[in-house]
Every structure is written in C-alpha cells, then in structure tokens.
Structure 1
Amino acid sequence: MLSFFLRAVQALTCSKTLNIAVKFTNKQYVTCEKRRRAEVNDKLAKTDMGIFVSSLVMLGLSIVLVYSSSFAVAQHKFGGADFFLGRQIVRAIIALVCFMIFINVDYHFWGKHSSKAYIIAIAMLLFVLVMPAHHGARRWISLGFIQFQASELALMVLVLIFAERLYEAGDSLRDSKKFAQFLIKIGILCGLIILEPNFSTACILCIVGMAMIFVAGARFVHIAGLVAAIIPIAAVIAVSAPYRLKRITGYLHSSNHKGDIGYQAYQALIGLGNGGFFGVGLGQGGQKYFYLPEPHTDFVFSILGEEIGFVGILAVLAVFGFMIYRGMKISMNAPDKMGQLMAFGFTLVLALYVIVHVFVNIGVMPTTGIPLPFLSYGGMSLIFTMSSMGLLLNISGQSKEMPVREGKSFTDKRRRAPKFS
C-alpha cells in the first residue's frame, strides 16, 4: 500500500515537473520566435527597398530590350528570333539567384574569402591568354551554357579584396610601403587584362582601385603622384595598339570616317536621332536591322533611345542615378569600414559602366565595348551587376542608419555613420 502511494506521488511529481518543463520550453520558444521576428523586421526596415525594386525592374527591362534589339540578328545568324531571348532569360534566373544569395550572406564572408578569389581571378586571366582569339581578342571563358569575361570577375574580386585589406590596413595605408602593396595588386590585374587586350576594363579597374585607396585614407600626395605617372603611361598604351589608334583617330575625325572606323558611332547617333522625344515604339526601331553592329550589347543604349525616345532614356538614366545615389548612401551608413568600401566600390563600378557606355553611344568617347549594366545582353555582366546589388542590400540591412521606433510610428532620428578615415 505504501509502495503504491509512493509511486503515485512520484508520478504526480514527474507530471508536474514535465508540465513546468513544457511550459518553460514553450515560453522560451515564443521568446526566441519573437526575437527572430524582431530581427527580421529590423533588417527589413533598414534594407534599401529602392535598390531592391529598381534592380528587379531593370532585370525585367533587360529581357524585353534584349529581345527587341536582337531578334533580327538572331533570325539571320541562328534561324530563330528568340535565340538571344532564351539565353537571356536563363541568365536572368541565375542572376536573380545570385542576387538573393548576396542579400542573405553576410558581406564579411565575401571579404574573408577574397584572397582566394583573387588567386582564382589571376588564374582565369592567365587561362584566357592561352585561349583562341575571338575578333582579335582573348577575353572569354566558355562554360557551354554561358560565356563570361574573366576581367569582369577580376573587377568584382578587386572590390572585395580591397575592401577587406584596406579595412585591415587602417592608418598604415599612409605608409609608402603599404600603399605600394595595393598598387601591385592593381598592377597585376590591369597588366593581365591589357594583354587580352581589354584596355577599357583595365582603366575602369585602375580607377576603382585608386578611388577605394583614396577614400580609405591614403595620402593625397601619393594619389596625385600616381595619377601623374599613370596618365602618360596610359596614353602610350592607348596608341601603341593599331586597333586602339584607329578608334581614337575615328573618334577625333568622326566626320571623315563614317564608312569605316567611325561607322558604329555614326549609326548609334542616327538611332538616337530617329527616336526623337517619345521613340518609335519597342520593337519598331530600324537600326537593329544590320545598320548598327552589336545592337544588343555594345550599342543597346542607342536602340533604347530609338525605341523609347529621349523621354524614355531620361527615365532609365534617372533610375541609374537613383541607384548610384542610394549606393553611396548605403556606403556612408555602413556598419564598418569594410562595408563602406564595398558599397563605395560596387557603386562606383556601376556609375563608371553607365557613364562609359552612354558616352560611347552619344559620341563623346571612342568605342570601347563596355556593356550597359542590366540592359546589355551578356551573362557575367548581368550576374555581376545583380550580385553587387544584392551585396549592397546586405550592407544596408546592417546599416547604422535606422529608424527609431516610438510607439507605433517611426521617427526620423538617425545615428551618425562613421567616416571613411
């Protein structure tokens, strides 16, 4: 009888203990879930939705524009008007996946592994040099379903490794030896890219690298001396290759070279002129019918201007301008110097690509072959651009500039962002 009573008491005690444990576990789960939701909401509140929406809009426009600008060439070369369209859709899906990956992976992860990526980029640039030439250049690596330029990967890697190394360097960057180490990294990549040859991308890479060094706190006298040394060297390299010299000559004397070296630039201007204020309509442009070479890549801005007009291209440029502004804003409010430099570097790359492509199409610069971000046909260019936008969004999600909740509303109180140096 006593044994039965003791067992009953023991069972009751265990039951009460179990109930308490379950209640405690449930309470702990609810607390953790609330904390997780608060963290997600906080991150969403700080994430730059302007760049998020703009990136998706430009991605959608790229599919429409690539088809509109390429169907004549696709029909003539490959027997199907949707040849480039199908490939662009596949690349857009890959780019969208990369976009989401870079949004969700902490940007410090990419900085941590940037040294390995730098070695891979050098290996790819060396590999490209032994590949068969295409149109007189060795730039492309083919993976079957997609081709990409190793130089574009190198540009992305440069931003990552410079953000990480400049962050670690701190005030030691003002030392001449430390400054020289970063110049060597730029020089290796630029030298290999020039050998492809791809002079325009090498120039952009050099500008981005030097700008990142400058905003990281390098001495002005070092930067000024470097610029003074690079300008004459770049000028000599620019005129040393016959094809580059022809492009420069065609640019300087465009009216005398409408039928040969200046043909592309002349036809691009005709396309922009045909568009007028409101354009002839998507798909209705005439320059893509073999008047303008590479209408879906190097001269897509001209096709865009012809089909949606001056008002349309102003709207597109306004979106680019907005994204560049927001990118710089993210850089200013990043949680640390690495985030600041990454955001600055990728935003500067976007700005330079847009400026160079547009200037080539309106005849302000010689023909270079630089694509228009998002909108030009191309796999790595689109993937690189969407990945960089995803990384900007990851940085913005950890931004120090955040709304302070008071009751049910957000006030405009902000925490000041740290300076670059």
Structure 2
Amino acid sequence: MQEPVTARWTPPRKKRGFIRLSVQPAVDLPFLILVLTLVAFGLVMLFSASYAVALYRRGDPYTYIRPQLLYAALGLAAMWVASRVDYHIYHKLAWPLLALSLVLLVVVLFMPEYNGCKRWLVIPGVGTLQPSEIAKFAVVLTFSHIISLNHTRMKEFSVGVLPFGLVLGVVAALMLLEPHLSGTLLILGIGAVLMFVGGTGIKWFLMAGAGGAAAIAAAVVIMPDLVPYAADRLNSWLDPFADPLGDGHQTIQSLYAIGSGGATGLGLGNSRQKHLFVPEPQNDFIFSIVCEELGFIGACAVILLFVLLLLRGITLAVNAPDRFGALLVVGFVVQVALQAVLNIAVVTNTIPNTGISLPFFSSGGTSLMMLLGEMGIVLSVSRGET
C-alpha cells in the first residue's frame, strides 16, 4: 500500500503587474475596534494603577506609563504592517522563529535573577526582552504550519502527536527552569487547543492526561521535598489569611481591593490599595485595581471585551480562506483569552498564584508589542485573501 505523501507548502504564484496596497480588501472592523478599545482601556488603567507605586519607588509617576505608551505606538505600527502582509509568509518563518525562541530561552537562564526568576534578557540601551512571549508566538506559527500541511494524518501518533509533544516538551522544560509556571501552562494550553482543533485523536489526549498524572505521582515518590512545597502553596491558596504577612499577603490585599470596589467602584484613580498595599499593581494584579476603581460593572466590562474578542476571532477563523489562516486566528485569540482567564483566576484566588499578566493591561513592552503583532496577523487573515 502506498504511503500517503506529506504535503509541502508552496508559495502562491504572483500575479503580473503591481498590486497597490490600497486595493486590498478591508480588515474586519469589529475585531479592530475591540483591539483598539482594549489597548486604550489598558493604557488608562495602567497609568491609574501604577502612578502611585512609580512615585513612591522611582520618584517619577510616569515610570511605567511612559515606556508603555511608546511600546503601544510601536505595537500598533507592527499591527498595521502585519495586517498588510500576506500571512502565508509565516509558513517559511515558523521553524526559524521556533529555533530563535529556543535559543533565547536557553540564553535567559544565564541572566541575573529578578524576584527569584530568570525571565528577562537585558538589552543594553534598549531595555528587557521576555523570550517566553516569542516562544508563544513561535508555537502558534509552528503548530499551525504542521497541522495545515498534514491535516489528513492528524489521527496518527507520528504526525498528530509526536512532533507537537517534542516541541511542547522542550519549550516547557526550558520555561520551567526559569521558572515560569504560568507561561508553561499557557503554552501547553495553546498547543492542546490547536492540536484538538487540528484533528488529533481524543485517545491521545486521554493518554497524555494519564501520563501526566503518573509523572506527578513519580515525582512525589522520587522527590519527596516537593510534597511540603506543594502543600504550602495549596494551603496558602485555600487559606491566605493563615500567613497574612507572607505567602498570603498579595492575595489578601487583592481581595481587599476587589471587595472595596463594590458595584460601581471608588472612581477612576481613587484606589487605596495601589498605595503600596497590593504588590505589583501595575502588572499581575492590575485587575484588582480595576475592580476597586470601576467596581463590578467595570470588571464585567473588561471580561466582556475579552469574550467578544474571542467570539469574533472564532468567527473569523470559521470564515478564513484556508486552514492555515484559521489555525493562526484560533491560536492567537485563544492565547489572549486563556491568559486573561488565568490572570483573573489568580487575582480572585480562584486558582493558586502563578504570576501571569493581563493582556493589554499589565505593564510589559515585549508582551504588548507581540500581542499587537499577533492581532495584526488576525486582521490579515480577516481580509479573506488566498
């Protein structure tokens, strides 16, 4: 029996003559409006949440918002460029970008620690770069590339499981060494969603779940020191008030901020908890400041924006010109939605504190620029060109 031939991507033939950018189909306006609204909302809340801690610790209330405005401008420019570029070019860039991200994930392990982690590359004269953000982007590109070329064989282990498992295994191992547990969970979640949408058999997911449980059990037996550590983290999550000045401090202050906001909030800029009570109000716990200043209504508005972005993205994926474009859209919008869910769950103490930023809101230049570049690719797919 003849073996099926693995498809290879070939670039589309160029039409004769020149194609002016002005004749390209328009991007999806609802999706663009949602992205711009999230960016604007995020910048306003970042300034409100960060100016107090920036003034107290840096002597300059604009310490966090000033670079974020610059990165937002650069990110919007990147989004515009990405929306004008034929997204099929990422077939060629998938493997090189994955290789680059792996190199950066190795290099970052030799960087100085910050808050007990090695997540940032320091670039003299420029700032910092977070390799995990590039890794998320590269994983979406690589998985979309592989699935779109081998979609008829995704039920097979050698095609639908093995290459994805190897990529996720290497990336996850490097990120755990930083350590970056939340980023690892996010990348594993994105990869699993793309594999599921791409057609990987359900039995492989069940086997992976059983294997993961066995691996955890083996780790407990081989490394018994993990048990007290895990127990401490679990106890801190279940009862943060047991250690109010230690492991439970951040969660407690976050819950105070959320509770004091009530239905309508204290008003924009009027948070009390951001005055050195909530640690990292400009970053991982910015959503608690949103709840305190804008109340339950404001928190629901933020969640609604992310839900609408996800739903619109799914609609664009369903109507994408080809499978590669659909997978890119699914990967990028699921990344945003899943990251938002994890952040809000941590801030509200629904899950243990893993340290993860809120997309478009938290301070971080690399994250914002990568997010906007990814949204530009979604907009490129929305043009409907093949």
Report the TM-score when normalising by structure 2.
0.89
Q: Residue 337 of structure 1 aligns with which residue? A: 323
Contact 2:21-2:84 within 8 A present in 1 as well: no
Q: CA deviation at 1:231?
A: 3.9
Return the letter of the residue paired with 2:319. N
Q: Residue 336 of structure 2 aligns with which residue? A: 350
Contact 1:285-1:303 within 8 A present in 2 as well: yes
Q: Residue 250 of structure 1 aligns with which residue? A: 236
Q: CA deviation at 1:210?
A: 1.8
Q: CA deviation at 1:132?
A: 1.4
Secondary structure of 1:147's aligned partner: strand
Map Cα deviations across residues 126-154 of structure 1 (whole Å, 9 max, x no partner).
00111111111111012243323211210
Q: Residue 313 of structure 1 aligns with which residue? A: 299
Return the letter of the residue paired with 2:354. T
Give 1 or 2 for the bigger CA radius of gyration: 1
Q: Residue 77 of structure 1 aligns with which residue? A: 57
User: Does 1:180 find its partner at 2:166?
Assistant: no
Map Cα deviations across residues 101-147 of structure 1 (whole Å, 9 max, x no partner).
21111111123211100110000000011111111111101224332
Q: What fraction of aligned residue pairs are identical, expressed as a percent?
A: 30
Return the letter of the residue paired with 1:174. K
Q: Residue 110 of structure 2 aligns with which residue? A: 130
Return the letter of the residue paired with 1:198. H
User: Does 1:217 find its partner at 2:199?
Assistant: yes
Map Cα deviations across residues 238-261 of structure 1 (whole Å, 9 max, x no partner).
983976654332002223222321
Map Cα deviations across residues 346-379 of structure 1 (whole Å, 9 max, x no partner).
1111111110011111110111111100011111
Secondary structure of 2:72's aligned partner: helix
Between stretches 219-228 and 340-349, larger displacement belongs to 219-228
Q: List runs of 5+ in structure 1 lacking aligned partners.
A: 1-31, 401-421
Q: CA deviation at 1:232?
A: 4.6
Q: Residue 206 of structure 1 aligns with which residue? A: 188
- Flag the 1:260–1:216 CA change in 2: closer, same or farther, 3 A: same
Question: 2-side partners of 1:99 and 1:37: how far apart?
Answer: 15
- Paired positions, count: 364
Q: Residue 190 of structure 1 aligns with which residue? A: 172
User: Does 1:168 find its partner at 2:168?
Assistant: no
User: Does 1:395 find its partner at 2:376?
Assistant: no
Contact 2:175-2:181 within 8 A present in 1 as well: yes
- Flag the 1:101–1:241 CA change in 2: closer, same or farther, 3 A: farther
Between stretches 388-397 and 226-235, larger displacement belongs to 226-235
Map Cα deviations across residues 245-284 of structure 1 (whole Å, 9 max, x no partner).
5433200222322232111111111101111111111111
Q: How does 1:290-329 map to 2 (within 5 A)?
A: 290-329=276-315
Map Cα deviations across residues 396-415 of structure 1 (whole Å, 9 max, x no partner).
11179xxxxxxxxxxxxxxx
Question: 2-side partners of 1:348 and 1:234: how far apart?
Answer: 27
Question: 2-side partners of 1:214 and 1:317: how far apart?
Answer: 25
Q: CA deviation at 1:37?
A: 8.8
Q: How does 1:10-49 map to 2 (within 5 A)?
A: 39-40=23-24, 43-44=25-26, 47-49=27-29
2:267 aligned to which of 281, 297, 303: 281
- Flag the 1:360–1:399 CA change in 2: closer, same or farther, 3 A: farther
Contact 1:70-1:84 within 8 A present in 2 as well: yes
Question: 2-side partners of 1:184 and 1:221: how far apart?
Answer: 18
Q: CA deviation at 1:88?
A: 1.0
Contact 2:120-2:130 within 8 A present in 1 as well: yes
Q: Residue 408 of structure 1 aligns with which residue? A: none
Q: Residue 102 of structure 1 aligns with which residue? A: 82
Q: CA deviation at 1:233?
A: 3.3
Q: Residue 30 of structure 2 aligns with which residue? A: 50
Q: Residue 88 of structure 1 aligns with which residue? A: 68
- Flag the 1:241–1:132 CA change in 2: closer, same or farther, 3 A: farther
Q: CA deviation at 1:294?
A: 0.2
Q: Residue 22 of structure 1 aligns with which residue? A: none
Q: Residue 42 of structure 2 aligns with which residue? A: 62
Return the letter of the residue paired with 2:100. I
Question: 2-side partners of 1:170 and 1:216: how far apart?
Answer: 7
Q: Residue 212 of structure 2 aligns with which residue? A: 230
Secondary structure of 2:49's aligned partner: helix
Question: 2-side partners of 1:201 and 1:244: how far apart?
Answer: 18
Question: 2-side partners of 1:127 and 1:66: how far apart?
Answer: 30
Report the TM-score when normalising by structure 1.
0.82
Q: Higher helix fraction: Structure 1 or Structure 2?
A: 1
Contact 2:287-2:358 within 8 A present in 1 as well: yes
Please tell me the root mean square deviation across aligned C-alpha atoms, in Å: 2.2
Q: Residue 262 of structure 1 aligns with which residue? A: 248
Return the letter of the residue paired with 1:297. N
Q: CA deviation at 1:185?
A: 0.9
- Flag the 1:232–1:72 CA change in 2: closer, same or farther, 3 A: farther
Question: 1-side partners of 2:119 and 2:304: how far apart?
Answer: 31
